[in-house]
Amino acid sequence: MNAVEANIDGLVGPTHNYAGLAFGNIASEKHALTISNPKQAALQGLQKMKFLHDLGIPQMVMPPQPRPHAKIIRQLGYKDIKHVPKELLNQIYSASSMWVANAATISPSADTADGKVHITPANLVSKFHRGIEASTTAYYLKQIFKGTHFVHHDPLPSYMQFGDEGAANHMRLSKAHGDKGTEIFVYGSAATKKYPPRQSLQASQAIAYLHRLNPKSTVFLQQNPEAVDAGVFHNDVIAMSNEELFIYHELAYESVPQQLRRKYKTIVISEKELLLKDVVSTYFFNSQLVTLPEGGQIIIAPKECEKHAKARKCFEGLISKGIVKKVYYLDVHESMKNGGGPACLRLRVVLTEKERKAIHPKVWLNDALYNALCRWIKKYYRDRMLADDLRDPLLAEESFAALAELSRLIGISMEAS
């Protein structure tokens, strides 16, 4: 079956700030309460999307979520922003929905028993500022993936027993995108000493069942607790995959089944080649591994890897061995400072031609939409943001006005928060 893999990237929201909310995410904690640049962050993310689009790779955009989260403010009994405590203000203003690798788990129709694309929004219960995204994420996805080709499931129950972090802990391997594949779910370990796990085995098993996956083609891998305690909060910080290529660090998992390693092209990066601490600091594995329309694979890596001698050498080794054609280093520094590289900013979905045509047309990136979004960002976004700026009543007005115009641009209704 002919199919292509498309990317859907999250537009960085106008309230992008460094609040250090993600315990276990070293970059987020390190840059807490420093100055952010929302305008630059949004343009960097958009430029990455345009780069992929220009390579001929199908690219969609996901809108930011309305912030501040008005519904939470009302639920907690606060009259307005000025009465909200600082520690809560940071969370209801968070622009973390930009990292749509956490938005959902998507199984392509080639893998499912009913031949449909199955979508489960992540509940993200491990962090309050992420957990409040789930209902709006589901609302957006239903508007984007419309029609009988798609099955939308509710987020799993909001308990840590079913903690689900979306595609950041999900991979798929196949000989080609349209072939039946092996879906891999990565879950946490209770043996961590410093940082708690985020993805539960029960959540992963529930999604596999809901998506009607073949148990013989479904694999569950447990994270190495040493890696989690080193700052590998999600699997996409220590592994990447595309079609039959699976690249991961030797300290990523408790074990990897031999049959998986025999069936697919597996590359293991050793601790000697790249230290675990450097994996985390460079986000080496949080790169996008993608197939070009003319064939062959490339890597979209963060600029931080180009500046790191060992990370760059590892990428050069992949090129010299003919595993990938080229590595492109892109600047997503504003996202990196908050704990998300190129792969964090995108959600992947394999689509047949019929499925692709059913998608809401206005979210597909093209030159006209790119230029319109650039103008939109420059009109509404600030170029400087500190935690104290969240007290500014004008910020909420600016944010809601920006999303109202975006709604008109891409034809997506923004759910009232």
3-state secondary structure 133-151: CHHHHHHHHHHHECCCCEE
Strands (E), 141-276: 150-152, 170-173, 182-187, 218-222, 239-242, 245-249, 265-269
Given a contact cutoff of 8 angstroms between Cβ atoms, the answer to whether 151 and 117 are in contact is: yes
Q: Is 234 a catalytic residue?
A: yes
Which is catalytic among the residues 5, 243, 249, 344? 344
Active site residue 344: yes
Q: What angle do CA 34, 126, 39 make, to 5 degrees?
A: 35
Q: How many residues does the chain have?
A: 417
Would you call 165 a catalytic residue per the annotation? yes
The candidate with the shortest Cα–Cα distance to 216, out of 181, 189, 167, 261, is 181
How would DSSP label each residue in 194-205? SS---S-HHHHH
Strands (E), 217-356: 218-222, 239-242, 245-249, 265-269, 288-291, 297-302, 326-330, 346-351
The per-residue DSSP string of 290-307 comes to EE-TTS-EEEEEEHHHHT
Provide the 3-class DSSP secondary structure of residue 36: strand
Is beta strand 346-351 parallel, antiparallel or unpaired with respect to 326-330?
A: unpaired
Amino acid (one-letter) located at 196: P
Backbone angles phi, psi at 248, to 5 degrees: -150, 165
Tokens describing residue 45: 């993310």
Respond yes or no on whether the N-terminal peptide bond of residue 68 is cis (omega within 30° of 0): yes
Q: Among 283, 246, 289, 251, which Cα is nearest to 265's?
A: 246
Task: Tell me which of 5, 133, 165, 304 is the catalytic residue.
Answer: 165
Of the listed 234, 305, 308, 314, which one is catalytic? 234
The DSSP 8-state label assigned to residue 356 in this structure reads: H
Q: Which residues are catalytic?
A: 165, 234, 344
